[in-house]
A = this chain, B = another copy of it.
Amino acid sequence: MKKVAIVGASGYSGEELVRLLLAHPHAELAAVTSRQYAGQTLAQVFPRYASHPRAKALRFSEPVADVLAKQADIVFLALPHGVAAEYAGPLLQAGCVVIDLSADFRVKSATVYKEFYAHDHPAPDLLAKAVYGLPEIYREQIRKASLVASPGCYPTSILVPVIPLLKAGLIKETGIIADSLSGVSGAGRKAELDYLFVECNESVRPYGVPKHRHLSEIEQELSLAAGTKVTIQFTPHLIPVNRGILTTLYLAPAEHFTDANGAAKLGEKIAACYRASYGDEPFVRLLEGKTLPDTKNVVGTNVIEIAWRLDPRTGRLIVMSAEDNLVKGASGQAVQSMNILCGWPETAGLI
C-alpha cells in the first residue's frame, strides 16, 4: 500500500480521483486538499462517497506542499494550469512522485506554453523531467517517471486513434481534422452562467474556434509520431451530457483508393495496424462489425472505443473515438499511470 494525496480534490477531476482512489486495492487516500472546503470531511462534501468509512474520517486540508510531502508518497495535482506547477517543484524535491492533471507539464516548450496559455511557464526547469502520461504510447517512460503530465481529455480522444496511423505511415500528416463533442463536466465545476443547466440543456454549440489550448499538446504529440511538424484543425463542441467525449477524425490515407476493392485492401492494413498497436491494451476497445462508438458505453470506465470507416466516394478515412472525459480523459488515466509507475497491475482499481 502506498499513501496518496489529491491536491484540488473538489473539482470534477478531483472528485473522480477520490472515487477511484477510495476503491484502489494498493493505494490509501491519505490527504485531500481544497481551500474552499478545508475542515470538512469527504463525506460532507461528497455525500455520494459517504458510505465509505474513509470518507467519514478524512478531512479536506489547506494545500501545503511540505505537509503533503510528509503525508503521501504520490501526489495527484488536480489544479488549474499555472497553479499546479507551483506545487510540483517542492513535492518532487521532497521525494514525492507527482502526477499532474493540469496542462502545466504537457507541453515540452515553455514558448509554446506561453503562446497557448498566455502567461510565462511557472517552472520551466521541470519541463524536461516530465513524461507525457499516455500509457498506450509512453508506458516505458512512465515506469521510470517522477513527474507525469497526464494528458487532457480532448488530446486523449485524438492521440490514441491517430498516433498508430501516423507512425505506420498509413495517413498523411497534413489535413487532419478533429471534430469533438464534450460533456459539460469538461468545463469544470465553475459557477459561471454559461454552464448553468438551463443554458446547456437543449443546447449544442461550438466554442474556442479555431485555436483551442489543447492544440499545443495534440500537435506536439502528433509531430513526434509523424517525425515532422503536424498542424491540425480542431473544433470542440459543448453538448448536454454530464460526461463523455466523442471525436470524429477526418484523415487522408497515404494510399489512394477509389472503390470498394481499394477500400478493402487498405482496410486490412488499418485493421492490422490497430490490432498490432492496441490488440492487447486493456483500455482500448477496437469496435468490430457495424458498431460505432457511443459515449454511453464508456462512461464511468477507463476505456476508449475506436471505430473507423473508409469512404471510397471521397478517399478519406473517418476514425471515431469515445471516452469518459473524467476517466480515460483525466483521472482514470492518471491512476493508470500510477499503477505503471508503482509496478502494480495496470488495471488495478480501474475495472
Q: If the complex has contacts A51-B285, A198-B242, A311-B233, are A318 and B210 also in contact, measured as CB distance less than 8 A?
A: yes
A108 CB to closest chain B CB (Å) equals 19
Kindly state whether residue A301 has any CB partner on chain B within 8 Å. Answer: yes
Kindly state whether residue A327 has any CB partner on chain B within 8 Å. Answer: no
Q: Output the residue of A183, A204, A311 with the most chain B CB within 10 A.
A: A204
- Contact between A181 and B237 (Cβ–Cβ < 8 Å)? yes
- Contact between B179 and A231 (Cβ–Cβ < 8 Å)? no
Closest Cβ neighbor of A311 among chain B residues: B210
Q: If the complex has contacts A51-B282, A197-B242, are A204 and B181 also in contact, measured as CB distance less than 8 A?
A: yes
A256 CB to closest chain B CB (Å) equals 14
Q: If the complex has contacts A189-B193, A204-B241, A240-B241, are A292 and B209 also in contact, measured as CB distance less than 8 A?
A: yes
- Contact between A205 and B293 (Cβ–Cβ < 8 Å)? yes
Closest Cβ neighbor of A202 among chain B residues: B241
Bound-state CA distance A322–B300 (Å) is 21
Kindly state whether residue A106 has any CB partner on chain B within 8 Å. Answer: no
Interface bits A224-246 vs B (CB < 8 Å: 1, else 0): 00000001110101011111101
Contact of A197 among B184, B297, B318 (CB under 8 A): B184
A161 CB to closest chain B CB (Å) equals 13
Contact of A314 among B184, B206, B232 (CB under 8 A): B232
Kindly state whether residue A1 has any CB partner on chain B within 8 Å. Answer: no
- Contact between B209 and A320 (Cβ–Cβ < 8 Å)? yes
Q: Point out the residues of chain B lying under 8 angstroms from A177, CB to CB.
A: 177, 250
Q: Point out the residues of chain B lying under 8 angstroms from A239, CB to CB.
A: 181, 204, 239-240
- Contact between A197 and B206 (Cβ–Cβ < 8 Å)? no
Kindly state whether residue A9 has any CB partner on chain B within 8 Å. Answer: no
- Contact between A320 and B206 (Cβ–Cβ < 8 Å)? yes
Bound-state CA distance A37–B201 (Å) is 23
Closest Cβ neighbor of A179 among chain B residues: B179
Kindly state whether residue A121 has any CB partner on chain B within 8 Å. Answer: no
A41 CB to closest chain B CB (Å) equals 11
Extra pairs beyond A197-B197, A203-B294, A204-B239 (13, CB < 8 Å)? A47-B297, A48-B297, A51-B285, A181-B181, A184-B197, A201-B241, A203-B296, A205-B246, A205-B293, A206-B293, A209-B320, A210-B309, A233-B318
* Chain A residues within 8 Å of B, Cβ to Cβ: 12, 23, 44, 47-48, 50-52, 177, 179, 181, 183-185, 189-193, 195-207, 209-211, 231-233, 235, 237, 239-244, 246, 248, 250, 282-283, 285, 287, 289, 291-301, 303, 305, 309-311, 313-314, 316, 318, 320, 322, 351
Query: Can you show 14 pairs from A to B with CB atoms below 8 A apart?
Result: A44-B289, A47-B305, A197-B199, A203-B244, A203-B294, A204-B239, A206-B246, A210-B310, A210-B313, A210-B314, A231-B313, A233-B316, A237-B246, A300-B300
Closest A-B pairs by Cβ, 4 of them: A210-B311, A203-B296, A197-B200, A205-B294
